[in-house]
Amino acid sequence: MAPASPIRHIPASSLAISKPTWWLESRFHFSFADYYNPRNMNFGALRVLNDDLVKPKAGFGAHPHRDAEIFSYIVQGELSHRDSMGNYESLPRGCVQYMSAGTGVVHSEMNDGDKTCRFLQVWLTPDQRGHRPQYGSARFEKQHRHNKLLHLLGGTGAVPQWKGIEAGEGIELHQDANVFASENDAGVSHDITLAAGRQAYLVCIEGSMTVSTNDTEVALAQRDAAELVADRKPLYLQLSAGDKGSHFLLIEMKKSD
């Protein structure tokens, strides 16, 4: 039997699309809400990745969470967060909001603006249950991620020593994971190496790109994703922007058992 490819392409056309109400359109990368798929529950510690479009003056009202590491990366418009810890903040494109739900928290996420808000919401399972709830956020300009790997969030493990990393704000997840965002001009490439026993989930948010190893190349269009897995040996990868540039999110973590 041939070994499994280290790159698994996930076309945008394969994502579940949910339109439960007039103001929301979601694309689910994993089993969630009205999309139940026991064969697509997670990718290691990555449990949820939703690509949400929220119409103006609408959003997710107050609702509870528990024992989840949750962050939102804003792609367009503004997202307003309010929670039971007393935090309130509105953040625009390229910024990140993080919440460790821990023992329990109630929050809302609203689009208080006049334009549709697009954001990626990601849930990671924590390293243990019962953490004290906390909130964090970071504001970034395009220059921080332009042709660079902006380190949005860190975790309990080491940060990969890749070229082109721009240090972020030091927000730490309760999980062995690192999150990067990058917005690139046409033809710009990033060479990265996943250490043995590590994996990553790559989302092409805007534009197009290719991800390649020494003998495999996969093209990603807008909203496509890819699972990248280094098994017993390090995995060299090149991430290259397409002819109209690329904007991507990369979540690096411990390999699934």
Instruction: List, as residue ranges, the binding site for Fe cation.
Output: 63, 65, 107, 109
The closest of 217, 214, 208 to 188, measured between CA atoms, is 208
Binding residues: 63, 65, 107, 109
Residue type, 5: S
**Cβ–Cβ < 8 Å for 190, 145:** no
The closest of 241, 167, 228, 146 to 195, measured between CA atoms, is 228
| DSSP strand pairing (105-111 vs 58-65) | antiparallel
**Cβ–Cβ < 8 Å for 205, 223:** yes
Phi/psi for 172 (5° steps) reads -115, 125
Residues 6+ apart with CB under 8 A from 26: 17, 18, 19, 20, 33, 50, 51, 52, 53
H-type helices in 44-146, by residue range?
142-145
